[in-house]
Structure 1
């Protein structure tokens, strides 16, 4: 009995360490990736490279920390799926950490991140293109033979669309200082992120903006917005839904993605504007709830996964009891 209790405490402690490790390691990694990408947006071909920027690194940590905190909850669910326990203590620790993340840690983190989310500490417009390189801008290819301190260029331009290629000269042409978020199109063509990643970051930014608005409106409003965290926490109910751990982890992943998708549709887009307005009329006196339909769906999903978890636990307990009696 004592050994079983010690084992439960040990696993709960490991879960806490797993959470802390995920938050710290993911924050450092996300900040590093953010810093490298932001440095790339300021690079100009032929100029010196600054390999590290403490300002951008800290900015990246602030910008990405809300995502890291939410992501750490799913990693804990994966951990419990990979290392299942019959003891309830680990589940209690998981729930406490999840609620503490959404209702205690995220509000102050959002306040810190809000001022840095849309602002950039590095002005890409200050970079001046270097001469001696070919740069493409459909349907032309430009060669800058010289660029002065005012970003006025001279050189050649090649027109690609004609059967007979045309070549022109130009001089004293004012160049744009930034294009597509990059100071130099040559760098942008090389390191621009894939469209899927851009879409994911766009979704994150949309949800973060909704979180900023809810957080700025007061803690009560935030508490209802954070019902998304309750729904995400509840996916743990799937961690013993089958005998195959990989299937359980996939179920947790897809359920989490589904929760994020419908919250995004409700918070950022107008896809569900009609139903949202109808539900909002039912709760029109509760002005501190920004989107009642979002709250209802999140609580409903949480209840469903809670029931799934209870039924799965009861079924597994019965199966173990039957197996023990047979033996």
Structure 2
């Protein structure tokens, strides 16, 4: 056999070696399926582990969120407790600084058994008067009533009276001011205040803790916004006109109070000066003044000066005037008539 024949035989043997039988194919296929199943099971196991890890992470995050909520709630409770303690401390300090309470307590302790001196106040557990323990006490003045009608002036007058009372009792705490003021609400005002307090509590909002906050809430309800605009317009256009200096100043002051105008002294004096009559203003400009009282005094003097000058001018004009009536009333006309016609 030649070399070429050997090469052909070898190639045929190689090709026949590359051909597999059906049984070998099925065995190979089954082996591959087992490998795929094994890999698939491992993949599913890995996915399940990842899901379990994610679930555990979600549980941990949820737990942390709940803990944060609890912590925030505890912080809010602690802040509220601190505020309450601060209010109680302020009230205690006010009672300690009140000489009337000290005198009453001293007299009560030093009095014989069964004898209560005049003005005696029973002491509570904390050493303060029992009436003081509820934050109200027994004021030595009467709180004006407020019914919450549609009249804006009713509320503004009530607020002005309350502000005056607080200025006379600067040691009152904010809590006591709110309780005293609301204790005299009646009619619609009482229903409105109870509803406001209840709604704030149900909504979890910050309650009204200061007199200023209470005043802002009442102004928002009982004073329309257009009322304030009208007040500002009236104040801007205000002029003395036919009013006296005092009448003009009182109207300006009343409008500023109702409009709650807060401005510098120089602006107020300039506002007053601009609204004066022209002749009054001309005299006042020659004076020197440093406050509103001095300016008002000079305006009164100018008004009196102009009135006196007008009287003098009127008398001078009347003395030099000839009228037939004055001549006739003196009897001169009859005397002249008799003299002329008797001749």
Who wins on radius of gyration, i.e. which is larger? 2
TM-score (norm 2): 0.24
TM-score (norm 1): 0.24
Higher helix share: 2
Higher strand share: 1
